[in-house]
Amino acid sequence: MTVSCAAGKEVKEEKKINNNLIAAIGVIVSFIAIYIASISVFLAFLGAAGILAANLWGANGVRTVAKYGIGTGVPSVGMLALGGAVGAVFAGLYIGKMLGIEVAAPILAFILSMITGLLIGICARYILKMNIPVMVRCMTEICGAGALLFMSQFVTITGSYGYAALEKLAEVGVVLFIFIIGALGMLHPYNACLGADERHGRTLKLALATGSAQIILAGIVSIYFLGSVSILTLLIGAVAWVVTYRDFVKTSFKEGIVVSTGLIPEVEKK
Amino acid sequence: MDINTGLGLVALMGAAATIAGAAEDLESDIGSQSNPNSQVQLAPQVGVLHRIFNKAISGEPPAYAFYSSIAATVAWILMSLNFNIFAAFAIGAFVASIFHGIYASTAHIGRIASARRYGQPIYLDVMLNHLPGIMSHGFVATFCVLVLSYVLHAYFEHPFPFVMLAFIWGITVGAIGSSTGDVHYGSEREFQNQPFGCGLNAAFSGKIVTKAEVGTRSNIDNAWFCAKFGGPATGITFGLIVFLDNWRSLLFTPEMSIVVGAVMIILLVVANRVLELWARKNYGPYPEKLALLEG
Amino acid sequence: MDPITAIVLLIIAGILIVIAVHHIPVGGAPAAMAMATGVGTGTVQLATGAGLTGLVSAGYMYHFAGVDPYIVLLSGGIGSTLMIGITMLIGNVIYIFGVGVPPVSAKVKFDPITKDRQDIYVSPGTEGHGIPTVSFVSGIIGGFIGGVGGSLTYVVLNEVGINPAISAFIAIGFFIANAVIAAYNIAGTIEGFHDPKFKRLPKAILSSLIVSGFIAAVVIGGVFL
């Protein structure tokens, strides 16, 4: 069996996916999801939409910045998204509770997180002199997405987004579980699709699949906090995951060269 | 707790850590995760097509933190429902290994599909053959991380919650696996076509070995090779860290434990110097470089 | 503890973490193929692994032994150093017996500590391999400073009245954010304090000052509000 090296030419030029549109979806859908899901535990499953949107936005940010090759690998960017958001989320929710404005707490946490990201971006771009033009924008975006992902998870798991939720989750350590599934969800799509024929659309499809996997995990944990209501989250996550995972695998199989088995093909040496 | 029970528990933690480290390294060799992965990724670009699994989930530390946290969270929920702890650990580690398999499959498919222009095929049999090995080694590693976190949490009453300890030890075991055992896979096994006793010449980057002793090489062969040295060495590293660190805080007063720790560190520096001298004396300089001595 | 002291201490902790990361010899992916001197893994990963191991020791000391904070910090430092020291030692064992290369640095002609000749032991086409004494010592120093930095974050957050689990959570996020800043400054590989890249340290300290300053201000500011 011989596969020619010219296979690459068949890859079509894809149409551009607008980063601003993804950012808008990430912010708006997440906030709507966070607020609606906190109304009642029966609506907690709606937080799933927030998880998906925030994860998609973060993964897109990771892709945009990591495409430049930052020398430390894709994972560090993803870890930074959540790591930078930790302090801001704590401060935002705590201040919200102390001032008695719980409603504004997510917005405050989101803004503080964006500022943290902005500062990291400015430092990286202008002090550390990294030659990556999108650095400032992307660092701001991924830290913002990290904060939204945290709060979407809080609301899906416990049914509320306030400081009480953070405290409950932190005391049992589950908050670190949220941290790492969120970080992996954001960094995995680009890390897994890295290569010469990486395509934006395919990477985002994988981002949706990792987001759905997070919904399933959130559903498992929320059994402890919310009881049988969380079956809804689990079901939605399972359906979303099957759809998105199938979609990603189909796309990859269409774009790659799939053989069920065989020896290594001969390639003409350049 | 009396000192003998304490020592026994510390030894148990050390043993669990040793198994976890060894399984972790072999798992990453089956998937060629972490740093040696860069050569597998590069290979098609330099015209070396292969039948090797390309599991770029993320670096090993975040990946192991991920599996351990999932396993710990599930186990903790089951334990709060009064499950037997070992059943809870097993179910937790099982759930984690399912997610491990899912992420491993997307990483492999995604990366290989992105190498299309070099003509690298996605072999379905490679994926299906390797996933069980990856998931089962991941299961062993995660289970042992849970055991050691649980001992620390429940018997030594560590103030951090169980899930948090599992997360931290997950990061640590991943960091150790990618720093020690992977070197054996990356420097030696991937490049057995190079002479023993040299680092990889940058000119040969990506030219990994794709032929096995008989037939085509797969990662199962790599794990077989690394199980002789890289895996156990990783296990010993993690076991030593967990054992020594807890041993000194258990046996001595806080002030003395710092002194003991400092002595251990000095011994490590000395041991490293002895090793270095041994290697310099026995291996000697590279013949190609001897001209530098005169010039 | 008053807010200003707490903020200043947190900033110091952030700067310590950044300094620590610059000391730890990491070769990134090339080191895993014995193409570069240092431990064969990423900067953030190794530093985080070491820092968190120290955090476990420090957390234990802080809550049970009832000792002075400085003992807690030292204990965290020793915990991290043990982790990084054993990892580097076994790493070297693998380089020497598994790959058959002597540990050697390619950035200097003579090891600044042992005065051993380095360049003739570098195998052709590589940037050094293994962890020579100077990098080992640098790594030990880095591990210690990093452990102290991580534990300091944890202790300060506890002292201002945040509960242990949330303190540890914030400390982990804080550690990772600072480690990533340092990693961006290092961009791949560093051999230790003798590496020319080490001279870039002030830029990372300035960045860490800004970022940790902001995080510290919002966290401590929030608590004292």
Contact A257 B51 (CB under 8 A): no
Identify the pLDDT of residue A10.
44
In a domain, B291, yes or no: no
pLDDT above 70: residue A15 = no
In a domain, B148, yes or no: yes
pLDDT-based confidence at residue A2 (cuts at 50, 70, 90): very low
Chain C: give the shortest CA distance to residue A242, in Å: 32
Chain A residues close to B161, C-beta within 8 Å: 171-173
Identify the pLDDT of residue A190.
92
If asked whether residues B274 and B208 sit together in one domain, one would say no
pLDDT above 90: residue B244 = yes
In a domain, A108, yes or no: yes
φ/ψ (deg, to 5) at C36: -150, 150
In a domain, A267, yes or no: no
Give dist(CA B231, CA B26) in Å, integer. Answer: 6
Domain count within chain B: 2
In a domain, A96, yes or no: yes
Give the helix ranges, DSSP H, for chain A: 19-37, 47-66, 74-98, 105-122, 135-158, 163-171, 174-193, 200-226, 231-255
If asked whether residues B100 and B71 sit together in one domain, one would say yes
Contact B172 C52 (CB under 8 A): yes
**CB nearest to C35's CB, from B184, B199, B288:** B199
H or E element in which residue C104 lies: strand C104-105
Domain count within chain A: 1
Contact B110 A223 (CB under 8 A): no
Mean pLDDT across chain A: 88
- Residue-wise pLDDT for A164-216, tens only, equals 889 889 989 999 999 999 999 999 999 999 888 888 999 999 999 999 999 99
Interface test with A, best of B120, B142, B214 (most A CBs within 10 A): B120
Domain boundaries, chain C: 3-212
Interface test with B, best of C21, C94, C157 (most B CBs within 10 A): C94
In a domain, A239, yes or no: yes
Give dist(CA A96, CA A101) in Å, integer. Answer: 5
- Residue-wise pLDDT for B266-285, tens only, equals 999 999 999 999 999 999 89
Give dist(CA C163, CA A175) in Å, integer. Answer: 14
Q: Neighbouring chains of A at 3+ CB pairs within 8 Å? A: B, C
Identify the pLDDT of residue A6.
41
If asked whether residues B15 and B51 sit together in one domain, one would say yes
In a domain, A265, yes or no: no
Identify the pLDDT of residue B295.
59
Angstrom distances, CA of residue A225 to CA of A83, A211, A218, A222, B150: 25, 21, 11, 5, 22
Identify the pLDDT of residue C102.
93
Identify the pLDDT of residue C41.
85
In a domain, B290, yes or no: no
The residue range of the domain holding A78 is 19-255
Identify the pLDDT of residue B27.
93
If asked whether residues B146 and B193 sit together in one domain, one would say yes
The residue assigned the tokens 């995990």 is: A217
Give the helix ranges, DSSP H, for C94-200: 133-159, 164-186
Least confident window among A30-34, A73-77, A232-236, B69-73: A73-77
pLDDT above 70: residue A270 = no
- CA nearest to A95 within chain C: C222
The residue range of the domain holding B55 is 3-243
**CB nearest to A197's CB, from B99, B116, B124:** B116
In a domain, B294, yes or no: no
Chain A: give the shortest CA distance to residue B265, in Å: 29
Interface test with B, best of A174, A176, A249 (most B CBs within 10 A): A176
Contact B113 A262 (CB under 8 A): no
In a domain, A9, yes or no: no
φ/ψ (deg, to 5) at C168: -65, -40
In a domain, A86, yes or no: yes
Interface test with B, best of A4, A204, A224, A264 (most B CBs within 10 A): A264
Identify the pLDDT of residue B215.
86
Instruction: Retrieve residue C188's tokens.
Output: 């791949």
What is the percent of chain A with per-residue pLDDT over 70, rounded to a whole number? 93
Give dist(CA A1, CA B17) in Å, integer. Answer: 46
Secondary structure (DSSP) of A10-25 = GPPPPPP--HHHHHHH
If asked whether residues B50 and B172 sit together in one domain, one would say yes
Contact A73 C215 (CB under 8 A): no
Contact A75 B59 (CB under 8 A): yes
Chain B residues close to C74, C-beta within 8 Å: 258
Contact C32 B36 (CB under 8 A): yes
Chain C residues close to B174, C-beta within 8 Å: 45, 49
In a domain, B292, yes or no: no
How many CB atoms sit inside 10 A of residue A238's CB?
15
Chain A residues close to B167, C-beta within 8 Å: 173, 176-177, 179-180
pLDDT-based confidence at residue A267 (cuts at 50, 70, 90): low
Segment B175-204 shows an average pLDDT of 89
The rounded average pLDDT for each run of 10 residues, N- to C-terminus, in chain C (225 residues) is: 92 95 90 90 89 91 82 93 94 93 91 90 90 94 94 93 90 92 87 90 93 92 85
Identify the pLDDT of residue B249.
86
Contact C184 A87 (CB under 8 A): no
**CB nearest to A73's CB, from B51, B59, B95:** B59
Chain C residues close to B261, C-beta within 8 Å: 75, 78-79, 81-82
What lies within 8 Å, CB to CB, of A10 at 6+ separation is: none
Q: Neighbouring chains of C at 3+ CB pairs within 8 Å? A: A, B
If asked whether residues B217 and B237 sit together in one domain, one would say yes
Q: What one-character DSSP code corresponds to residue B71?
A: H
How many CB atoms sit inside 10 A of residue A204's CB?
20
ipTM: 0.94
H or E element in which residue B122 lies: strand B121-123
Q: Neighbouring chains of B at 3+ CB pairs within 8 Å? A: A, C
Nearest one of B25, B285, B199 to C100, comparing CA atoms: B199
